[in-house]
Structure 1
Amino acid sequence: MKNVRTVAVFGVLIVLALALGLFTRTDAPDSPVPTVENTGPQGARALYLYLREGGKAVDTRLTPLEGLASTTRTVVLAAPQGRPVTEDEVQELERFVRGGGTLVYLSTREMGKHQPALEEWLALESGVLLPASGRGLDSSLTDVGGSTVDVWLPVGPLHGLSHLRVSQDRGLRMVHDDAVPVAGLGGAVAVWRRAMDSGEVYVLAGADLAENRRLEMLDNLRFWDALAARGPLSFDEYHHEPAPPPPFARGIWVFVAQVLAVGLLYTVSRGTRFGAPRPLRVERHRSALEYVRSMGWLMRRAKVEKELLPELDQALRQQMQERLGIPLALSDADAARLLEQDGGIPASSYLEAKADLERTQAQPSVTPADYARVARGYAHLERALAGRDAA
């Protein structure tokens, strides 16, 4: 009786602990990393999708900055903090810029902590704080903690721009004789430009111009439009990922193997014997062919509902949005055009499948053969979209 009472008390305590844990659980905070996959306020997903859906040549780089393609015109490093840029990568960036490329470095706020090699090459130092300014914002827009900076020298992608919206944080200093401050406010500089042979480097204080929360403010978006108009633009995502941990030393693996061997020996020596093994009981199960016949009989008796047909198209459009970023609200013609442009699947394949679906749905009744024909067409499109079949 005493044991039952003890178990009951502990059970009640465990239930209360679980209830309190579920009640106090909160959602994870938004990620501050400005990657093209981050949809939070400080991410750059909106910028990437805007450029790609606008027909611009834009991609992401998941490998080190070595051997940059000659077709790439602009490389964007958006405040990377996961991995440091190495000396070899700095030399490759310098070769790329001097060969006519454009480097846009959105600097981290903490100097000398995350990118020492890159900051040494660019000779970057922390500047003074930007003063608060709300000039140019509509009354409907609120940007607490932001500041409006002026474009002092409208060169390159800043041509025709007048104001940029950034965070009210520290500016930058670029200690190079040929470095020119091109945007800022008061004595604080937010954007620097340095020409190097036939290329140029733009250094911005923080990743504010690429963030989702400030992308549409003032002339921020026009800055990226001008950069993308120059040619293929590549976002560096490799240096946002943390470096893999170092491999275990051989001595640690030897120690682990010894512990496992000793544990296995102890288990074998102290394990309980359950007697000689009994012969296995042979059980006869139904054959797979009987199951197939039963399933076929059920499908012959089943009736196909018309409501199943729109589900085929809805499932395909959902995959088109997840894999290629084609919005569900687009018309069939526009979606087919983007499917051919981004996925390499002829637009006629999707339009013919959709027309067959609509004709079948307009019939008084849908036979299993009709449904199988339509489903087969959509299945081919799904396989082609996944890269497992030709369109």
Structure 2
Amino acid sequence: MKNARTIAIFGVLIALALAAGLSTDRDTPPSLVPSVENTGPQGARALFLFLREGGHAVSEQHTSLDSLAAGTRTLVLAAPIGRPVSDDEVLAVERFVQAGGTLAYLSTRELGRHQAALEKWLKLEPGPLFPASERGLATDLADAGGTTVDVWLDAGPLRGLSTLRVSQDRGLLVDHPGAIPLAGLGGAVAVWRVALGQGHVYVLAGADLVENRRLELLDNVRFWSALAARGPLVIDEFHHQLAPPPPISRGIWVFAAQVLAVVGIYALSRGTRFGEPRPLLVEKHRSALEYVRSMGWLMRRSKVEKELLPELDKSLRHQLQEQLGIPPDLEDSEAARRLEQEGGVPASHYLDAKAQLTSLLAQPSVRPADFARVARLYAHLERAVAGQEATRR
């Protein structure tokens, strides 16, 4: 009965492990976060690399917006949904804009859910849907689900631009005093400008202009180039990250400690006792010098085998075929003539080396010095054919 229960428990554990392994084999869906670390269609990695390689001062903000680096000219908030922008951060951003900075806020599609403090400050409301338009694209399938909006007022970073490519979604309404619509289509507005003190806030409906898939369409990339040309541009990454979970309760730690203590006492009371430790055996290995001496002794006693001599000629003829197209089965005299004609190596060099090799093959034994001499001749020929050594005259 006990064995059956143990087998059943292990069977359940193996089934759970298999299910977990199969679930991890599924393809991970592409990320929808417009982060500079996201290389997917809806990421912003292409924009970050484009600005940096274009010589612009662009960096990432991985801390709270209260600690913006001095000298920052433009701050970009690309539809952050990881953690909300706090009221204190909104005040810091407002002071930054009032002092002459520029904020580019790409609003989230779901107003009132992720960034309540920013939306309250800028007084954002959802607008009407954008009409469909494929103007400026090569084909209707170049950007499925997108639409082309017009630049109504070419001011600020929109100066000199005519059209932008955005998602065919809802536009945006900004009820802030001094808000001016800059771009849109029909009754839907895609880009607003709000003047605050000495700076400006550009509010965009969604993160479409920053996405990798639409960066090169129409005038999208020129908008960001104009912003980056003003000075150091900082892209917020801090609010794309999820807020850390709350600390674990002390009661959970106490419970875990109690469980570990009970398990330890049980193991101590029921565990198998081992005997006294045995002395450690010291294994002595042979030194490296002994191996070197043994190898030297083997080399002194070794003799040159005659079978190595034909391999020299075979290797050279193989190289002649690869380098100069001389067939291996060609007669030696004809091969020497073609070697001189096509490779610039005198025919006498090859014929002399082949004659010495043939003479060694006829001897009952081959001395190492004779083998080294013939091998040296063939080595010179191979290097000459390969162009690594000038032909000896």
Match of 1:260 in 2: 260
1:81 to 1:285, Cα distance in 2 relative to 1, 3 A: farther
Give the letter aligned to residue 212 of structure 1.
N
Q: How much has 1:107 moved relative to structure 2? A: 0.7
Distance across 1 between alignment mates of 2:173 and 2:262: 61
Distance across 2 between alignment mates of 1:206 and 1:152: 18
1:106 to 1:24, Cα distance in 2 relative to 1, 3 A: closer
Q: How much has 1:286 moved relative to structure 2? A: 6.2
1:24 to 1:91, Cα distance in 2 relative to 1, 3 A: closer
Question: CA offsets, 1:35-60, max 9 Å, x none?
Answer: 11111110111111111001111111
Match of 1:63 in 2: 63
Distance across 2 between alignment mates of 1:33 and 1:179: 28
Match of 1:372 in 2: none
Does residue 238 of the first structure (1) align with residue 245 of the second (2)?
Answer: no
- Does the residue aligned with 2:114 lie in a helix, a strand or coil? coil
Question: CA offsets, 1:281-313, max 9 Å, x none?
Answer: 3333567xx49x98xx9xxxxxxxxxxxxxxxx
Match of 1:202 in 2: 202
Give the letter aligned to residue 80 of structure 1.
P
Distance across 2 between alignment mates of 1:138 and 1:54: 26
Match of 1:93 in 2: 93
- Count the aligned residue pairs: 286
Give the letter aligned to residue 45 of structure 2.
R
Match of 2:212 in 1: 212
Distance across 2 between alignment mates of 1:273 and 1:102: 73
Distance across 2 between alignment mates of 1:220 and 1:163: 8
Distance across 1 between alignment mates of 2:23 and 2:237: 37
Question: CA offsets, 1:224-243, max 9 Å, x none?
Answer: 11101101101111111111
Distance across 2 between alignment mates of 1:69 and 1:24: 41
The equivalences for 1:268-307 within 5 A come to: 268-285=268-285, 290=288
Does residue 136 of the first structure (1) align with residue 133 of the second (2)?
Answer: no
Q: How much has 1:279 moved relative to structure 2? A: 3.0
Distance across 2 between alignment mates of 1:261 and 1:216: 62
Question: CA offsets, 1:206-254, max 9 Å, x none?
Answer: 1100101111111101101110110110111111111111111222111
Distance across 2 between alignment mates of 1:186 and 1:27: 40
Give the letter aligned to residue 143 of structure 2.
D
- Does the residue aligned with 2:283 lie in a helix, a strand or coil? coil
Structure 1 unaligned segments of length 5 or more: list them. 298-362, 366-391
Question: CA offsets, 1:109-150, max 9 Å, x none?
Answer: 111111111111111111111111111112386111101111
Does residue 170 of the first structure (1) align with residue 170 of the second (2)?
Answer: yes
Which shifted more, 204-213 or 273-282? 273-282
Match of 2:28 in 1: 28
Q: How much has 1:28 moved relative to structure 2? A: 1.6
Q: How much has 1:274 moved relative to structure 2? A: 3.1
Give the letter aligned to residue 156 of structure 2.
G
The equivalences for 1:339-358 within 5 A come to: none
- Does the residue aligned with 1:66 lie in a helix, a strand or coil? helix
Distance across 1 between alignment mates of 2:286 and 2:171: 75
- Does the residue aligned with 2:110 lie in a helix, a strand or coil? coil
Q: How much has 1:184 moved relative to structure 2? A: 0.9
Contact 2:134–2:140 (Cα < 8 Å) also in 1? no
Question: CA offsets, 1:252-292, max 9 Å, x none?
Answer: 111111111111111101112233333333333567xx49x
Q: How much has 1:64 moved relative to structure 2? A: 0.8
Q: How much has 1:197 moved relative to structure 2? A: 0.8
Distance across 2 between alignment mates of 1:260 and 1:18: 28
Give the letter aligned to residue 67 of structure 2.
G
Distance across 2 between alignment mates of 1:30 and 1:112: 25
Distance across 2 between alignment mates of 1:68 and 1:158: 25
TM normalised by structure 1 equals 0.67
Give the letter aligned to residue 264 of structure 2.
L
Which shifted more, 134-143 or 90-99? 134-143
Match of 2:227 in 1: 227
Match of 1:127 in 2: 127
Q: Percent identity?
A: 68
Match of 2:306 in 1: none
Which shifted more, 271-280 or 104-113? 271-280
Distance across 1 between alignment mates of 2:189 and 2:32: 23
Distance across 2 between alignment mates of 1:262 and 1:25: 38
Give the letter aligned to residue 186 of structure 2.
G
Question: CA offsets, 1:71-100, max 9 Å, x none?
Answer: 110000111111111111111100000000
Distance across 2 between alignment mates of 1:185 and 1:140: 18
- Does the residue aligned with 2:191 lie in a helix, a strand or coil? strand
User: C-alpha root-mean-square deviation of aligned residues, in Å?
Assistant: 3.0
The equivalences for 1:146-157 within 5 A come to: 146-157=146-157
Match of 2:105 in 1: 105
Contact 2:73–2:101 (Cα < 8 Å) also in 1? yes
Structure 2 unaligned segments of length 5 or more: list them. 296-386
Match of 1:351 in 2: none
Give the letter aligned to residue 33 of structure 1.
V
Match of 1:369 in 2: none
Give the letter aligned to residue 125 of structure 2.
E
Distance across 1 between alignment mates of 2:23 and 2:69: 52
Match of 2:161 in 1: 161
Distance across 2 between alignment mates of 1:30 and 1:23: 17
Distance across 2 between alignment mates of 1:67 and 1:276: 62
Q: How much has 1:69 moved relative to structure 2? A: 2.4
Structure showing greater Rg:
2
